[in-house]
Every structure is written in structure tokens, then in C-alpha cells.
Structure 1
Amino acid sequence: MGKVRNILQAKGNQVFSVEPTTTVYKAIELMSEKNIGGLLITDADGKMLGIFTERDYARRVILQGRSSKDTDIGDIMTTDPVTVSPDNSIEDCMTLMTSRFVRHLPVLDNGCLCGMISIGDVVRFIIDEQRGIIEELEVYITGHR
């Protein structure tokens, strides 16, 4: 099975982030514009402080009666998110996502932020990997491509 680095090679290392003083409303606008379900919260130097996801919005803004235009993302972000390294296996990621009930994993390489993967990225990787295996088996069995 592949590694996190394989997913990052395919999708790229672009990470969308905001600073903790960004309003929740502005963060949701960015998430909508980029069609993503999670943002990393970083300081001015790019150091990861936390993560904000659609789930955080539902639980910490909507259900608590807060205003997204008056709430800073730093006040409701998830601090100390579950992370992986580029060397973690895809299986490790599936286990973490399932056991910790998360859909987004920031990727740190020696403490430096180098990407983020989602459950969608993991599923896409597994489907592509299985498709390749099936094609190889068909060639082996039939003897032609």
C-alpha cells in the first residue's frame, strides 16, 4: 500500500490556511471558493496552530448560537490536530481517520507543514491503486493489454 507522500505527489502540496484573527465567515467563504472542507490555522510565520473544519463550524458556531461574522476562527478551531508524516502508510491514515473521527490530516515533515490530505484523497488513492492491480491481473490472465 502507498504512502502519504504518494498522495501529495499526485495532488500537490498546496495548503489553504488563515490566521487565527480571521472571522469564521471569511474562513467559510474561502472554503466555499476552494471547494474544501477544512482549513489550517497558522501564525504569521506559517506555523500550524490548529485546524478548522465544517464539523467545527456546525458544533462550535451554529449549535452554540455564535455569529460567524463576529467570531474569530482562533476561538473555535481544533487545537493540536491529528497529523501524519509523508512516510505514513495510507492504511495508517485510514486507521487514524476512523478511530479519531477526522476527515482531514495535516502532513508534517520534521515539524514543517508540507500538505494536508482528506478522506476523499485517501479513497481516491485506494481506488486508483486497486484499478491498477486489476488491470495487471487481467493482463496476466489474458496475456494481452
Structure 2
Amino acid sequence: MTNNTTTTIVKDVMWTQVDIVNSKCTVQNALNDMQHKKTKMLLVDKSHVYDEYGVVLISDIASKVIAKDRALDRVNVYEIMNKPAISVHSNMDIRYCAKLLTNFNLSRCPVLDNGKIVGMVSLTSIVFNSLRIV
């Protein structure tokens, strides 16, 4: 059993560059944004103060738009997004974050503090960071 006195938290491994789209933007615009930013996931902004963030994935576009032969420029993101987005807080131990992500079969999720997005964390960033800990 190892006695690790320093706990690595989400804040240590997250990135702060976050890609957010409006829920009313078209899937075509979201897809263009994904391609430009080289990402497979976009966060969907809240519509009002009591709303929650959503996420739209490449797989959502494939299964809910392309596979159903819907026009990319005639479907809005809010029609296909997943909401609420599963999120973590920046002071969470990365071991619990890794467990949460794997339990829900997610590769990444937003990091929220006080209801505001402060970053993104992924299993990749957690695993590669763990290499440096050992």
C-alpha cells in the first residue's frame, strides 16, 4: 500500500479552454465549430439562470441527425444534446473523477465551480498525469 501524501485534484489536470455553443445554433454550425477546434464534444450553454449545461457529441450528430437523414442546417443543437451534462468540481480527487467518468462510460466532462464552467477534464489527462505521480 502506498502512502501518497499529495492528492492530485481535477484542477491539476483539467484544461481551461472550453468550447461552448448556444443551444439554438444549428448542428451544421456546431459541426463546423467541432471541425475547426478539432474536438468531438461541445458544451451547450445555459439558456437562463436556472438552466443546466448540456453536451453535444459527434456520436449524437451521427445517430440523431445523419443516421435519420435529417438536414444538418435544419436541426438545432437543443434537439439532440444531452442535458444536464455530468460534471465535476475542480477540487475533486482525480481518483473519484476517473471512477465517475468510467461508471458513466464518459471520456471527458466539464468542470464546474459555483455553477460556472471553469474547464474540462478527460480520462486521458488523468491517466497521463498519473504517469508523472508514480
TM-score when normalising by structure 1: 0.77
Residue number in structure 1 paired with 2:4:
none
Where in structure 1 are there 5+ consecutive unaligned residues? 134-145
Structure 1 residue 44: Cα displacement: 6.6
Indicate whether 1:56 and 2:60 are aligned.
yes
Q: CA RMSD in A?
A: 2.0
Give the ranges of 4+ consecutive aligned residues of structure 1 lying more than 6 Å apart after TM superposition.
44-47
Q: Write the distance in 2 (CA, Å) between the matches of 1:117 and 1:16.
A: 13
Indicate whether 1:103 and 2:103 are aligned.
no
Please give the per-residue CA displacement for 1:39-69, whole angstroms capped at 9, x wherever unaligned: 1111477975311112222222223322222
Q: Which has the higher helix share?
A: 1
- Match of 1:69, SS? helix
Q: Write the distance in 2 (CA, Å) between the matches of 1:14 and 1:113.
A: 10
Where in structure 2 are there 5+ consecutive unaligned residues? 1-6
* Number of positions where the alignment pairs a residue of Structure 1 with one of Structure 2: 127
TM-score when normalising by structure 2: 0.82
* Greater length-normalized contact order (CA 8 Å, ≥ 6 residues apart): 2
Q: Write the distance in 2 (CA, Å) between the matches of 1:92 and 1:72.
A: 34
Please give the per-residue CA displacement for 1:77-106, whole angstroms capped at 9, x wherever unaligned: 101111000011111121111111112211
Indicate whether 1:127 and 2:112 are aligned.
no
Residue number in structure 2 paired with 1:35:
38
Q: Percent identity?
A: 27
